[in-house]
Amino acid sequence: MQLRPDISIHAMIKSLTDAVLPAVDPNNKLALEQLQLTIGLLSMMEQRMPLEFKFDCDELDRLLGFAVELKRHARGGEALADLVASETQGADVRRRAQASPAEVVAANRALRAASGAVAASAYRDGTPEQRAAIMKTVLSMSGQQLLRDRAWVMPQGWEAQPELVPPIADLLATS
């Protein structure tokens, strides 16, 4: 998936700064202020988005430590039971959240590059049977991936028959 928020935000900031801001009536103070705030918030999103997951994991780590400390000092009761349940659940989530989104993206990119190279060379040099198998495998994988890519950009309205593309949430729910 190539059309990510980072590239979109980057382009939106440039458009607003270079094309829209100079065109706003300088006497329309409200519009000017709203636009400058919008550019400012988008700029902050662009900078902070790559750190969002780390920020959340860091917070979860500290909250888990906080819960351990609280348990040592608190008396029993319903509230403490809720805290223990939340701590157990949170610890489980933290165990499973070991790789960052950036690492997942990097792994995808490495696999794309390596499999693209292998698919091309194997198809070029293979026997007719191997070539047919490679073609079938690439087309099958591409069909699944492109369905998700198309569902991802569905709000843009490119599809002639949008009813044939399932919602992205449904497609991702099955993975």
Binding region for another protein (CB under 8 A): 2-3, 7-8, 10-12, 14-15, 18-19, 22, 108-110, 112-117, 119-120, 123-124, 132, 134-136, 138-139, 141-143, 146-147, 149-150, 152-153, 156-160
Give a three-class secondary structure readout of 22-63.
HHCCCCCHHHHHHHHHHHHHHHHHHHHHHHHHHHHHHHHHHH
* CB nearer another protein, residue 5 or residue 65: 5
* CB nearer another protein, residue 3 or residue 93: 3
Determine phi and psi for 127, rounding to 5 degrees: -70, 165
Nearest approach, Cβ of residue 126 and another protein (Å) = 10
Cβ–Cβ under 8 Å, residues 26 and 32: yes
Report the C-alpha gap between 141 and 127 in whole angstroms: 21
The terminus-to-terminus CA distance of the chain in angstroms comes to 16
Nearest approach, Cβ of residue 27 and another protein (Å) = 22
Nearest approach, Cβ of residue 127 and another protein (Å) = 14
* CB nearer another protein, residue 3 or residue 70: 3
Report the C-alpha gap between 142 and 136 in whole angstroms: 10
* CB nearer another protein, residue 86 or residue 115: 115
Nearest approach, Cβ of residue 173 and another protein (Å) = 20
Nearest approach, Cβ of residue 56 and another protein (Å) = 25
Report the C-alpha gap between 147 and 55 in whole angstroms: 32
* CB nearer another protein, residue 39 or residue 67: 39
